[in-house]
């Protein structure tokens, strides 16, 4: 609830018993109830919208007032990586909308949709501290009101390689929900992290092909001090798995060092990364692959230009992804 106190004009009142005038000021209290209890930080209030109609009305009002809008789509469980996106959005826009929505359509039946962390109160605090203006946290029925689905899908190899091999419907869910968020919030800019490199390339294709009037801002991977890429799924790792997972960033750095030393054969780079990871007993490799940028195009040896070295590895039941961009001259 937001509270405002307004003062009206004062008035002079004569008191016969005291043979004197007294001055009185009238006050009115204004109460505003948002769609959900707001998060309070000092004297700052941030509203959490939960319905499509509310976020559409808010976005339209911002547009009418000439304010620029930055959108940070998330599935919640916010960490420093998300915070870096929100902070950048706050630097570059008048208004920052952070969506918190665990999107069911990008999970396969055997994946961790039900177990995925949901902590809206904590997320709201972190988002506000990073500079968010409002949060959009809809229920699945708000985002998918019809029993028969309407899909937005990027086809071709770009969604079939890397994660697309084992998660064939994943990117269809991503592009569908992101297109809905773009339509609802009408952002000038949308912010994503380089850790989800394949998602970034798929969304770039979607924005290009569907003529979305939005600029995609891609920020570097945020890592722990020991090199592990920040991820909402890191909380699933046991202490031993957490320590073992450091092999991912170490193997990628090794590949970059080899490129700087003159190695430009993609198969050799993949082999060296595989050897590094296979030396860790708790690691179970899903894929290690190299594709050309932009667009995740097939590469040939010797490598040239910008290339994405990407990997996915399981530690116990937790699947982690990581990547590095190799500049080969």
Query: Given the structure tokens 């769609």, which residue do they identify?
Result: 35
Report d(CA 283, CA 274) in Å as an integer: 10
CB 138 within 8 A of CB 102: no
User: In this structure, is the dihedral angle defined by the CA atoms of residues 256, 260, 266 and 271, taken in order, positive or negative?
Assistant: negative
CB 12 within 8 A of CB 21: yes
Identify whether 254 is a catalytic site residue.
no
Q: Three-class SS of residue 41?
A: strand
Task: Please tell me the number of Cα atoms within 13 Å of 133 on its side-chain side.
Answer: 21
Residues 6 or more apart from 179 whose CB is under 8 A from it? 152, 206, 210, 212
CA distances for 236 relative to 117, 126, 182, angstroms: 10, 20, 31
Pick the closest to residue 95 from 67, 116, 122, 117 (CA basis). 67
Residues 6 or more apart from 23 whose CB is under 8 A from it? 10, 11, 12, 13
Catalytic residue among 79, 82, 170, 254: 82
Pick the closest to residue 97 from 60, 120, 59, 71 (CA basis). 71
CA distances for 21 relative to 14, 18, 27, 163, angstroms: 4, 8, 20, 80
The number of helices, as runs of H, and strands, as runs of E, in the chain is: 10, 14
Catalytic residues: 82
């Amino acid at each position: 609830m937001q509270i405002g106190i307004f003062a009206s004009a004062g008035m002079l009142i004569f008191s016969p018993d005291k043979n004197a005038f007294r001055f009185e000021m009238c006050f009115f209290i204004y109460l505003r109830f948002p769609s959900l209890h707001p998060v309070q930080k000092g004297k700052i209030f941030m509203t959490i919208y939960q319905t499509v109609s509310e976020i559409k009305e808010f976005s339209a009002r911002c547009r009418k007032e000439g304010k620029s809008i930055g959108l940070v789509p998330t599935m919640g469980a916010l960490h420093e990586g998300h915070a870096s996106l929100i902070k950048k959005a706050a630097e570059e826009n008048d208004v920052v909308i952070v969506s918190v929505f665990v999107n069911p359509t990008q999970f396969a039946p055997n994946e961790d949709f039900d177990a995925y962390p949901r902590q809206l109160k904590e997320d709201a605090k972190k988002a506000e501290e990073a500079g968010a203006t409002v949060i959009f946290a809809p229920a699945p029925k708000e985002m998918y009101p019809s029993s028969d689905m309407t899909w937005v899908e990027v086809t071709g190899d770009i969604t079939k390689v890397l994660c697309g091999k084992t998660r064939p419907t994943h990117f269809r869910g991503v592009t569908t929900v992101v297109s809905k968020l773009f339509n609802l919030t009408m952002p000038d800019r949308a912010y994503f992290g380089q850790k989800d490199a394949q998602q970034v390339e798929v969304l770039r294709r979607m924005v290009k092909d569907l003529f979305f009037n939005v600029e995609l801002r891609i920020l570097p991977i945020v890592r722990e001090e020991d090199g592990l890429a920040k991820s909402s799924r890191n909380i699933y790792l046991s202490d031993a798995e957490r320590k073992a997972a450091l092999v991912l960033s170490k193997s990628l750095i090794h590949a970059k060092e080899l490129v700087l030393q003159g190695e430009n054969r993609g198969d050799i780079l993949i082999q060296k990364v595989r050897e590094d990871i296979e030396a860790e007993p708790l690691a179970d490799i899903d894929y290690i692959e190299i594709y050309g940028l932009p667009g995740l195009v097939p590469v040939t040896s010797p490598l040239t230009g910008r290339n994405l070295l990407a990997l996915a590895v399981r530690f116990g039941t937790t699947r982690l992804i990581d990547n590095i961009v190799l500049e080969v001259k």
